[in-house]
Amino acid sequence: MAKTFYVTTPIYYVNAEPHIGHAYTTINADFLARWKRLDGYDTFFLTGTDEHGEKIAQAAARAGMEPQQFVDEVAAKFKKAWEILHISYDDFIRTTEERHKKVVRQYLQEIYDRGDIYYGEYEGLYCVGCERFLTEKELVDGKCPDHGVEPELRREGNYFFKMEKYRAWLRDHILKNPGFIRPERYRNEVLSILSEPIGDLSISRPKSRVSWGIELPWDPEHVTYVWFDALLNYVSALGYPDGERYRRYWPAAQHMIGKDILKTHAVFWPTMLKAGEVEIYKHLNVGGHLLADGRKMSKSLGNVINPFEWSAKYGPDAVRYYLLKETPYGLDGVVSEAGLVERYNADLANDLGNLLQRVRTMVIKYRGGVLRKREPGEGEAGVVAAASGLADRVRGLIDELKFNQALEEVLQFVRSLNRYVNERAPWKIKDEEDLDRVLYTVVDGLRTAAVLLEPAMPVKMAELRRALGLGELSVADVSGWGGLPDGHEIPAEAPILFPKIETKNKQQAGREEEEEERTPTIQYEDFAKLDLRVALVKSVEKHPNADRLLVIRLELDGEERTVVGGLAAHYQPQELVGKRVVLLANLKPRKLRGVVSHGMLLAAEGADGTLALLTPDREVEAGSKIS
Ligand code: MSP
């Protein structure tokens, strides 16, 4: 029987229209689902919408609509959005569907009957944006860091789930299963949450205040807390507890989420499962955020980029490829239209599209479209070596969630095919057999690339296959050189796969930059513009894409920052942890090899080029201003 794979996206709140943050998470999940299908797994891919709770009821009221009508409309927009981006979900669950509500009621009743739910009073700081109580520690300047608003103090009678009771078990589970929460930094974050009491979880809201939700089966005066309701979608959609899909796919579950909902998925959800005596999911895969102007994109911040406009302009695959390739999964990324165009032109129009054009032209011109398989010779050694094991390398990287590197691996291969064509120069070859050999090798290589890039670009790779006269293929069909049959014929006509996107004159842009770079003497007011702060180094990692760089996590004034610095040649990551350093805090965020840096650490450069970080000469609190 085929191996199974189950992947989910978060179910999205319908108070906002689909935006790039949703698209990013969903594209990552779709990429994984498509890859697994191509790689022979019996795959199930779930997405959907989270339609209950206060924030949805408020949004419906603002729109002057009944909640049900409102959620129906927005849920339809999500479906439309996923159609535009070619998201291959197998099911779309809505929490207002009866199949879901039934499971929520049943699950609540089960753990209530077991004694894991009790009634009590609760007072705390509630953020409606997050739909949860925040702890004092989570606040920045008294505000929710994700929504920029002060949470409300609330006191009310609620039902509680005995979450604290499962804390020790959960910690142990995470320690015993290193890949349970990935990447590692998020696992550490969760372990740190679990090193202190987590308290019990309020799982109901009085109906007098929030009526848009699922009634508790034993007390109709209360509705289910929206997170308790929402998380259960992952099993309700499979037909928990005795559905065939549930039995088949749940044991292979992997959730893909954004880092903003780590606590709910890594703490609430597993303890809920444990209380219901349900097997715990296999992996929680945590993605970073895409940022615009250095901040999370969200409707409440008003800085939303519209991926559907990009898709209309450049096609869905260009958007998918760009989002997957640009940012290492798990880290924050900055995206822009200019970035998309640059990536598209370099990788897709130049490297891949041109190669296809060139080789098609030659096969048609020299061979009337027919390829002959000739055993590779010395000249092919490089390409043969690069093709061999390529699918395995890509699989390995995808299994480690290194999607951008997996794509880069294939692009490297495409570049090696380009070099091969240039070196072998088929237009100069006199030996007929040798000419066959070269043309075959390039088309065979493109065939491999088409399969391995398909999870990222399903539409374009189907076109690429058609341009080469190929039907559907799977990963098993591309294990090294020579998968293409002898005598294969390519069609005479095919559209241009990736037409180049014209951009503004580069030289002119370069001159503008140079002008700006000249540094005159400055006025005090200029210096005063610098927000220099003492910051405490919390953790340091090597940059995933650059040997020279370190990714440094800092704390200042309760706020967290990530800074990327060229310090790898000067410090070991561990050496820096606990140091107090000087941060230029208001530097415009910049992306360095895919990781966004929010500021810059000050360092002195010795005559021999060694760097020494500046530190205050006595202990001052992190966050202190420097003037
Ligand atoms: N409804 C909850 C999830 C319940 S799952 C049982 C929710 N919905 S949400 O619509 O607010 O956002 C869900 C996810 O969207 C985030 O976790 C994240 O994956 C993604 N993103 C929203 N904004 C984002 C960015 N700016 N960048 C990347 N992804 C972000 O939370």
When pLDDT is cut at 50, 70 and 90, the band that residue 508 belongs to is low
pLDDT at 448 over 50: yes
Whether the CB of 571 sits within 6 Å of ligand 1: no
Alpha-carbon span 491 to 498, nearest angstrom: 18
* Residue closest by Cα to atom 10 of ligand 1: 12
pLDDT at 299 over 80: no
421 CA distance to ligand 1 middle (Å): 45
pLDDT at 506 over 60: no
Nearest to 320 by CA among 450, 459, 452, 467: 459
Catalytic status, residue 86:
no
β-strands 290-292, 253-258: how paired?
A: unpaired
Is-contact 367 436, C-beta < 8 A?
yes
Catalytic status, residue 147:
yes
Alpha-carbon span 550 to 326, nearest angstrom: 18
Which pLDDT score, from 0 to 100, does residue 548 have?
86
β-strands 253-258, 4-8: how paired?
A: parallel
- For residue 10, which atom of ligand 1 is closest to its CA? 5
* Residue closest by Cα to atom 8 of ligand 1: 12
Q: What is the mean pLDDT of residues 110-118?
A: 97
Q: What is the mean pLDDT of residues 578-595?
A: 89
* Residue closest by Cα to atom 19 of ligand 1: 258
When pLDDT is cut at 50, 70 and 90, the band that residue 146 belongs to is confident
Catalytic status, residue 373:
no
Q: What is the mean pLDDT of residues 192-209?
A: 93
Whether the CB of 12 sits within 6 Å of ligand 1: yes
Catalytic status, residue 144:
yes
Between 93-107, 122-136, 178-192, 203-217, the lowest mean confidence (pLDDT) is in: 122-136
pTM of the shown model:
0.80
Q: How far is CA 517 from the centre of its chain?
A: 35
* Residues with Cβ within 8 Å of residue 95, at least 6 apart in sequence: 11, 48, 49, 50, 51, 52, 101, 229, 230, 233
Which pLDDT score, from 0 to 100, does residue 133 have?
86
Between 8-22, 150-164, 343-357, 509-523, the lowest mean confidence (pLDDT) is in: 509-523
Q: pLDDT tens digit string along 379-428?
A: 999 999 999 999 999 999 999 999 999 999 999 999 999 999 999 999 99
445 CA distance to ligand 1 middle (Å): 38
Whether the CB of 289 sits within 6 Å of ligand 1: yes
| Count of CA atoms in the C-beta half-sphere (13 A) of 349 | 13
Mutate to test the pocket of ligand 1, among 46, 107, 289 (most ligand atoms within 8 A of CB): 289
199 CA distance to ligand 1 middle (Å): 24
Is-contact 48 11, C-beta < 8 A?
yes
Q: What is the mean pLDDT of residues 166-188?
A: 97
Whether the CB of 25 sits within 6 Å of ligand 1: yes
pLDDT at 300 over 80: no
Whether the CB of 261 sits within 6 Å of ligand 1: yes
* Residue closest by Cα to atom 18 of ligand 1: 258
Which pLDDT score, from 0 to 100, does residue 297 have?
65
Which pLDDT score, from 0 to 100, does residue 163 have?
98
pLDDT at 155 over 90: no
E strand or H helix at 20: helix 20-38
Alpha-carbon span 491 to 361, nearest angstrom: 11
Start-to-end CA distance of the chain, whole Å, equals: 68
pLDDT at 605 over 90: no
β-strands 204-206, 219-224: how paired?
A: antiparallel
Catalytic status, residue 130:
yes
Helix (H, G, I), strand (E, B) or coil at 242: coil
Whether the CB of 269 sits within 6 Å of ligand 1: no
* Residue closest by Cα to atom 24 of ligand 1: 21
* Residues with Cβ within 8 Å of residue 556, at least 6 apart in sequence: 533, 534, 535, 536, 583, 585, 622, 623
Q: pLDDT tens digit string along 428-445?
A: 999 999 999 999 999 999
pLDDT at 16 over 90: no
Catalytic status, residue 265:
no
Which pLDDT score, from 0 to 100, does residue 513 have?
54
Which pLDDT score, from 0 to 100, does residue 492 have?
96
Cα–Cα distances in Å, from 517 out to 114, 401, 510, 511? 68, 39, 11, 10
- pLDDT, averaged across the chain: 93
Q: What is the mean pLDDT of residues 571-595?
A: 89
For 226-265, b/e burial (b = at least 16 CB within 10 A) is: bbbbbbbbbbbbbbbbebebbebbbebbbbbbbbbbbbbb
Catalytic residue among 52, 79, 101, 127: 127
Nearest to 550 by CA among 583, 572, 580: 572
Whether the CB of 13 sits within 6 Å of ligand 1: yes
When pLDDT is cut at 50, 70 and 90, the band that residue 512 belongs to is low
Catalytic status, residue 299:
yes
Q: What is the mean pLDDT of residues 9-27?
A: 94
Between 111-125, 151-165, 214-228, 507-521, the lowest mean confidence (pLDDT) is in: 507-521
Which pLDDT score, from 0 to 100, does residue 418 have?
97
Q: What is the mean pLDDT of residues 544-549?
A: 86
Q: pLDDT tens digit string along 359-382?
A: 999 999 999 999 999 999 999 999
More confident residue, 127 or 393: 393
Catalytic status, residue 255:
no
pLDDT at 124 over 80: yes
Q: What is the mean pLDDT of residues 128-157?
A: 88
Whether the CB of 360 sits within 6 Å of ligand 1: no
pLDDT at 518 over 50: no
Phi-psi region of 536 (alpha: psi -120 to 50; beta: other; left: phi over 0): beta
Ranked by mean pLDDT, the top range of 89-98, 138-147, 289-298 is 89-98
pLDDT at 90 over 90: yes
pLDDT at 6 over 80: yes
Residue type, 447: R
